Amino acid sequence: MNIPGELRYTSSHEWIRTEADGTVSVGITDHAQEVLGDLVFIQLPELNKQVKATQECAVVESVKAAADVYAPVSGEVIAINTSLEDHPDLVNQDAYEAWLFKIKCSDSSQLSTLLDAAGYQASVDEGH
* 60 class by beta-carbon count within 10 Å (0-12 exposed, 13-18 middle, 19+ buried): buried
Is residue 23, in this structure, part of any structural domain at all?
yes
Global confidence as pTM: 0.95
Is residue 2, in this structure, part of any structural domain at all?
no
Write down the pLDDT at residue 96. 97
Range of the domain at 45: 8-123
Asked if residue 1 has pLDDT above 90, the reply is no
pLDDT, tens only, 52-98: 999 999 999 999 899 999 999 999 999 999 999 999 999 999 999 99
Is residue 24, in this structure, part of any structural domain at all?
yes
Is residue 100, in this structure, part of any structural domain at all?
yes
Is residue 1, in this structure, part of any structural domain at all?
no
For β-strands 14-18 and 24-28, DSSP reports them as: antiparallel
Is residue 103, in this structure, part of any structural domain at all?
yes
pLDDT, tens only, 3-19: 999 999 999 999 999 99
Asked if residue 105 has pLDDT above 90, the reply is yes
